[in-house]
């Protein structure tokens, strides 16, 4: 008798602010079955509004709620487009795991904010929604991030090979999967967000395709060293970060003012590579295989220089392991939603620093 499907949807909109990733996943068996995907880009006015909410501003409480409702409608639209394209009725979906859009992440002060009105999303889709995954971990004295290492541990671990999974989104983070030892994970530093912001300001491009503009410049050693004096880079894990720290204001404070823009971009690329490579060399000793995911995994200049920096490791995309680099995080939040409904803890205290394992998320029944 054929086993029935157990369908979940994962929704991820990350620090890069590029748009909404939606993954429809079958979680009925031991293997994760990716059924369908959909990407919905953020329009520029929404990007601008979200960026503005990262900093104190007049009437920000009102604006936060208006944008949360808008995101819920966009999440719902993206979900329904995916379901309609695949002729799947909403009632066949067990739940949506929705990360929401981070606008503030201050675990050292005991809070994190991910926008997206989950109650409205449940109402608009007719599907139960699990959201607010980070807050329970922070309540247990954790960082609330990264949360995806638990999923990496579940699906990408090898019994004999030391693997490291590196997600290069707006912020870079890694998961260390050493055979016979506990899984750990932490944020490494800026991924794409500084490079995206700099090229947007100087070239009016959303991102530096293949790192071409960065490759046209030269690294400024003195600037790189100034950037690396940021205490985050030398801090031991567990640690997490975001736009609260790494933003254009932080970058400008370290500029002299006479740098060529392409040289700054080259230096920002070098900063991202250093954050990843140094983290692996210091905290993932003995790593044999590195698997990349997230938007930065398609930056050819980044991959080439990461290979040169870590020649002892094999570096590939997670596609090689059967999970697309562009969809891994959305798939992970579908799985995290399932863990919540099943009453299972899904944080890794070794990654987040929480005092104990926690059942994550808040459930909004359809």
Amino acid 189: pLDDT: 97
CA distances (Å), origin 116, targets 11, 65, 72, 183? 11, 9, 5, 30
Instruction: Tell me if 353 sits within 8 A of 238, measured CB to CB.
Output: yes
Instruction: Say what the pLDDT of residue 3 is.
Output: 63
Q: What is the dihedral of CA 33, 28, 145, 359, to 10 degrees?
A: 170
What is the pTM assigned to this prediction?
Answer: 0.96
The per-residue b/e assignment along 91-119, b for 16 or more CB within 10 angstroms, e otherwise, is: eebbbbbbbbbbbbbebeeeebbbbbbbe
pLDDT tens for the chain, 366 residues: list them.
456 789 999 999 998 999 999 999 999 988 899 999 999 999 999 999 999 998 888 999 999 999 999 999 999 999 999 999 999 999 999 999 999 999 999 999 999 999 999 999 999 999 999 999 999 999 999 999 999 999 999 999 999 999 999 999 999 999 999 999 999 999 999 999 999 999 999 999 999 999 999 999 999 999 999 999 999 999 999 999 999 999 999 999 999 999 999 999 999 999 999 999 999 999 999 999 999 999 999 999 999 999 999 999 999 999 999 999 999 999 999 999 999 999 999 999 999 999 999 999 999 999
Q: With CA atoms as reference, report the closest residue to 54 among 117, 99, 11, 101.
A: 101
pLDDT of residue 1: 40
**Residue for token digits 């990407």?**
39
Structural domains of the chain ordered from first start: 7-144+326-364 (3.30.420.40), 157-321 (3.30.420.40)
Per-residue model confidence (pLDDT) at position 344: 97
H or E segment to which residue 219 belongs:
none
């Amino acid at each position: 008798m054929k086993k029935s499907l157990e369908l979940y949807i994962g929704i991820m909109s990350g620090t890069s602010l590029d748009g909404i990733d939606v993954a429809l996943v079958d979680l009925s068996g031991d293997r994760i079955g990716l059924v369908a995907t959909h990407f919905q880009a953020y329009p520029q006015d929404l990007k601008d509004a979200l960026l503005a909410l990262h900093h104190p501003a007049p009437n920000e409480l009102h604006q936060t709620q208006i944008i949360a409702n808008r995101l819920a409608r966009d999440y719902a639209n993206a979900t329904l487009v995916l379901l309609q394209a695949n002729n799947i009725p909403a009632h066949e979906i067990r739940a949506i795991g929705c990360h929401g859009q981070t606008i503030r992440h201050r675990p050292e002060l005991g809070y994190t904010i991910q926008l997206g009105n989950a109650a409205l999303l449940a109402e608009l889709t007719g599907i139960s929604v699990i959201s607010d995954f980070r807050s329970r971990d922070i309540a247990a004295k954790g960082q609330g991030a990264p949360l995806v290492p638990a999923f990496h541990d579940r699906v990408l671990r090898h019994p004999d090979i030391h693997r490291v999974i590196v997600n290069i989104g707006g912020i870079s983070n890694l998961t260390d999967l050493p055979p016979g030892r506990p899984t750990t994970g932490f944020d490494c530093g800026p991924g794409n967000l500084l490079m995206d912001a700099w090229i947007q300001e100087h070239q009016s491009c959303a991102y530096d395709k293949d790192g071409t503009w960065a490759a046209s410049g030269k690294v400024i050693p003195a600037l790189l060293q100034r950037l690396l004096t940021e205490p985050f880079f030398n801090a031991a894990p567990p640690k997490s970060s975001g736009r609260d720290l790494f933003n254009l204001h932080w970058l400008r404070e370290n500029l002299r003012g006479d740098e060529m823009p392409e040289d700054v971009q080259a230096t920002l690329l070098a900063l991202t590579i250093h954050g990843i490579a140094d983290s692996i060399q210091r905290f993932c000793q003995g790593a044999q295989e590195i698997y990349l995911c997230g938007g930065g995994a398609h930056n050819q200049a980044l991959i080439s220089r990461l290979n040169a920096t870590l020649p002892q490791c094999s570096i590939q995309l997670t596609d090689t392991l059967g999970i697309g680099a562009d969809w891994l995080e959305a798939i992970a939040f579908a799985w995290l939603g399932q863990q919540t409904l099943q009453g299972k803890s899904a944080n890794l205290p070794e990654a987040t620093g929480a005092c104990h394992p926690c059942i994550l998320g808040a459930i909004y029944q359809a």
